[in-house]
A = this chain, B = another copy of it.
């Protein structure tokens, strides 16, 4: 039995501090995730600063958050049998995440995201998908999916060509087993690339719990106005009851169900060092909260706490004992 099984791109993060001038010179939109090829990856790496290397990948970060909060987490994603893949597998095992997707034994290298962190703590990601392109429906182990109370899927899975089929297979298995399906919209540029598909997933009832930040909701409904976007989201007439959780950075989150919207405060942070993983850990905290039996507002508080921890240091995986932190803050008993 798993509390949460996440499915996503398995990516090693290569993180460096930079300044705004570098982003401008490289024509990078601050805060975005850009897909790059191997040549561009080598070129960018050659010019970026001293790097810190850590496991990442949105859905895997979420699984790490669930595990750090004492719940059973699994992950499905594709690495190659190279040094970066071994590092990735080590880290998943080290934090207790069930990760049994076999290595790719040929084809492109383990994915890397070259992450530039500006002094304001904002991160700009440049991702070479590499071995993630080899995730296929064959990697979706039916028993594993069936054993998970919630399956969590990242919108980024629409980028590698075959992964969306893996995604659809996981949804079908989960719903057939009576389990919940959760989707994150991942990134506003990702929403721009796959708007119609994401709306179709929501409208056909493939999604029970939707995670998005406010920029992604605005991108989904092609509006610059947050209230218009939120109203459109509330008006979605879905076959299953849809629970939407919308994060708004320091303005806190909104928990939106058919009949009401509840606002939950952000968790205080001394200094934002690196915002990488904020949304991923919010989702991880929220889903761990559900597994702990918290109500939805309690889940959003736990999500906010996990997000606050991860943005207070470099890298997208928790460094503090989140379970202790939740108890100290009265969120978990």
Contact = CB atoms under 8 A, between A and B. Distances in A.
Contact of A319 (B17, B45, B87, B90): B17
Contacts of A87: 51, 53
Interface string A53-90: 11100000000100000000000000000010001001
Nearest to A45: B90
A130 interface: no
A94 B54 contact: no
A50 B52 CA distance: 13
Interface string A112-129: 000000000000000000
Contacts of A313: 273, 313-314
A314 B274 CA distance: 13
A290 interface: no
Contacts of A53: 52-54, 87
A141 B317 CA distance: 42
Q: How many copies does the complex hold?
A: 2
A317 B236 CA distance: 50
Nearest to A64: B50
Nearest to A14: B87
Nearest to A93: B46
A16 interface: yes
A172 B229 CA distance: 72
A64 B50 CA distance: 10
Interface in A306-331: 313-315, 317, 319
Contacts of A48: 94
Contacts of A55: 50
A319 to B, nearest CB: 6
Contact of A51 (B49, B83, B94): B94
A165 interface: no
A52 B54 contact: yes
A95 interface: yes
Contact of A49 (B50, B83, B95): B95
Contacts of A319: 17, 314
A327 to B, nearest CB: 16
A55 B16 CA distance: 12
29 contacts: A16-B94, A17-B319, A45-B90, A46-B90, A48-B94, A49-B94, A49-B95, A50-B54, A50-B55, A50-B90, A50-B94, A50-B95, A50-B317, A51-B90, A51-B91, A51-B94, A52-B52, A52-B53, A52-B54, A52-B315, A53-B53, A53-B54, A53-B87, A270-B270, A313-B313, A313-B314, A314-B314, A314-B315, A314-B319
